[in-house]
Amino acid sequence: MSLLTIKNLSARVEEKDILKGFNLTVNPGEVHAIMGPNGSGKSTLASVLAGNESYEVTGGEVDFDGKDLLDMAPEERAREGLFLAFQYPVEIPGVSNVNFMKAAVTEVRKHRGLEPLVAKDFLAYMKEKKELVELDGKLAGRSVNEGFSGGEKKRNEIFQMAMLDPKLGILDETDSGLDIDALRIVANGVNKLKSKDKAFIVITHYQRLLDYIVPDFVHVLYDGKIVRSGTKELALELEEKGYDWIKEELTEA
C-alpha cells in the first residue's frame, strides 16, 4: 500500500491559485525529488501537506497511510508521522531546543501509546540523534534556532526529524544556501534515516543535493502540477539545460 497518495490537489494563497491539480504517489522506502523553477508551487505543496492554515485547499484529496491527511490538524499530521523540514526554520526566543524536543517527543510517543522517556533516557536518545547530524552539543541548550547560522538551522531541522522518527520526511529546499560541508552533513543525516518503511520527498531547486541523496524518482513541478517525471537522469538534464526547454515544450504542445 502506498504511504502517500495525492490526487488532483489544488490550493491557493491570498486569492492566488498555486497548485492546480497535483498528483503524486509515494511508497514506503522511496525517495522522490521535486524540482521546478521559482514560483512553480514547490513550497506551497510542502506547506499544504504540513497543514499551514495560510494556504487554502480548493480541491483534491490526500491519503496518508490510510487516513485523510487534509482532515487533520498540523499536530495530528506530525504525530501520525509526517515531518516537514522548513525552508525557513522559525526562531523561538526563550524556548530551549531541549525543552522543545522533550515536549514534541512526548506528544508523538503519547500518540503511539508510549510513556514519556525519563530524563536520562531522553538525554541519551538526544545525544545519539545529535551525533547523526553532527550538531554541536551547545546548540541543544540554546533557544530554538535563535542566532543559529543558516547551516545550523538546517541541521537542526534534520536533528528534529531524527528525534521524531517520522514515516514521511519532506525537505523543503533544505539545501538552499548551504556550503558543501553543511550539505554533506544534512544529506548524510537523511541517508542514515532511510529505511524500507520510510519515505522522503526532497524539494529542491538544485541538482547538487541529489548527488548526495539519490532519488528514486524526479518530478518537475511547473505552474502547479507535475509536468514530467523520470529518474535521477532527469535531474542532470535539468541542471544542464535549465527549465526553459520544459516550458518551451509545454507551450508548443
Residues that bind another protein (CB under 8 A): 50-53, 73-75, 77-79, 83-84, 86, 89-90, 92-95, 99-100, 103-104, 107-108, 111, 143, 160, 164
What phi and psi, each to the nearest 5 degrees, are found at residue 222? -145, 130
Residue 187 C-beta: closest distance to another protein, Å = 22
Q: What are phi and psi of 54, to 5 degrees?
A: -70, -15
Minimum Å gap between C-beta 50 and another protein is 5
Residues 6+ apart with CB under 8 A from 149: none
In whole angstroms, how close is the CB of 95 to another protein at the nearest point? 5
Q: In this complex, which beta carbon is closest to another protein, that of residue 112 or of residue 241?
A: 112
Q: Which residue's CB is nearer to another protein, number 158 or number 226?
A: 158
Do 161 and 85 touch, CB atoms closer than 8 A? yes
Task: Give the integer Cα–Cα distance in Å for 156 and 151.
Answer: 8
Nearer to another protein, 90 or 180 (CB): 90
Distance of closest approach, residue 84 Cβ to another protein, in angstroms: 6
Smaller CB distance to another protein: residue 30 or 172? 172
Calculate the CA 130 to chain-centre distance: 19
Determine how β-strand 16-26 pairs with β-strand 168-172.
unpaired
For residue 142, the minimal CB distance to another protein (Å) is: 13
Q: How far is the CB of 122 from another protein (least distance, A)?
A: 15
Amino acid identity at 3? L
Cα–Cα dist 55/18, whole Å: 10
Q: Which is nearer to another protein, 22 or 159 (CB)?
A: 159
For residues 32 and 77, which CB has a smaller minimum distance to another protein in the complex?
77
User: Residue 200 and residue 167: Cα distance in Å, rounded?
Assistant: 8
C-alpha cell at 62: 490526500
How many angstroms separate the CA atoms of 212 and 175, rounded? Answer: 11
| Residue 64 DSSP code | E
